[in-house]
């Protein structure tokens, strides 16, 4: 039999995004400290999430969040040099404890984590697909065509094929903000089609 193995998952995000809260939910116990303030968690905390009968373990690490990620990457890149080491381990540790803690967190993730769960910022926009490629950033939108109501005997593959031009027409297309928008439109068209909303 193979020896028990361990899988380590790390929670990572900017500070104050809800990592410790999520860790508490997943672990079903009140670990760490939760507060609406930046840099509340100062050290990486490792917890047992699951253990199988065979002794395999799934572990969850709650980490200190980071602030300025560009500055953080720059500092981590310099880590190999003596000056970088000094800036991190002496200067930041003394002058900017939160920045130092975030460096520790990312080093822990790099060295120990098998998987990372990244929580995006609470300020992130909803319903947005951000596309990034070769330095260009764009937003992809999903639109729905106005749609065509078909009488019951035409609600068939052949009926749909026969109305394909109207179904896919871009005239009157929109971007539903919620599932309810779509429901109201479709029920409205059905009522019109059935002559119920005179």
Ligand X SMILES: Nc1nc2c(ncn2[C@@H]2O[C@H](COP(=O)(O)OP(=O)(O)O)[C@@H](O)[C@H]2O)c(=O)[nH]1
Binding site for ligand X (CB under 6 A): 13, 15-21, 34-36, 40-41, 65
Sheet holding 45-51, edge to edge: 45-51, 57-62, 6-13, 115-119
Residue 16 interacting with Mg ion (CB under 5 A):
no
Element (H, E) at 121: none
List the single partner that 13 binds among Mg ion, ligand X, none, CB under 5 to 8 Å by kind: ligand X
Between 117 and 167, whose beta carbon lies closer to ligand X? 117
Residue 20 interacting with Mg ion (CB under 5 A):
yes
# binding residues, Mg ion (CB under 5 A): 3
Element (H, E) at 61: strand 57-62
Between 61 and 65, whose beta carbon lies closer to ligand X? 65
C-alpha closest to that of 83 among 94, 73, 75, 93 = 75
**Residue 163 CA: distances (Å) to CA of 15, 149, 157, 166:** 52, 10, 10, 6
Show contacts with Mg ion in window 41-80 (CB under 5 A): 41
Helix count (H) and strand count (E) of the chain? 8, 6
- We find the least distance from the C-beta atom of residue 72 to ligand X, in angstroms, to be 15
- We find the least distance from the C-beta atom of residue 105 to Mg ion, in angstroms, to be 10
Residues in the site for Mg ion, rule: CB under 5 A? 19-20, 41
């Amino acid at each position: 039999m193979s020896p028990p193995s361990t899988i380590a998952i790390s929670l990572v995000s900017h500070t104050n995004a809800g990592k410790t809260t999520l860790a508490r939910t997943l672990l079903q116990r009140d670990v760490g400290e939760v507060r609406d303030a930046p840099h509340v968690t100062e050290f990486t905390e490792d917890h047992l999430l699951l253990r199988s009968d065979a002794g395999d373990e799934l572990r969850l690490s709650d980490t200190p969040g980071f602030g300025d990620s560009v500055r953080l990457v720059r500092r981590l890149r310099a880590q190999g040099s003596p000056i970088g080491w000094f800036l991190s381990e002496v200067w930041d540790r003394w002058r900017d404890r939160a920045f130092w803690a975030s460096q520790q967190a990312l080093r822990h993730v790099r060295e120990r984590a098998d998987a990372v769960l990244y929580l995006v910022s609470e300020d992130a926009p909803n319903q947005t697909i951000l596309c990034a490629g070769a330095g260009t950033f764009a937003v992809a939108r999903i639109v729905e065509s106005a749609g065509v109501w078909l009488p019951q005997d035409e609600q068939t593959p052949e009926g749909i094929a026969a109305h394909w031009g109207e179904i896919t027409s871009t005239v009157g297309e929109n971007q539903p903000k919620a599932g309810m928008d779509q429901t109201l439109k479709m029920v409205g068209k059905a009522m019109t089609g059935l002559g119920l909303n005179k």
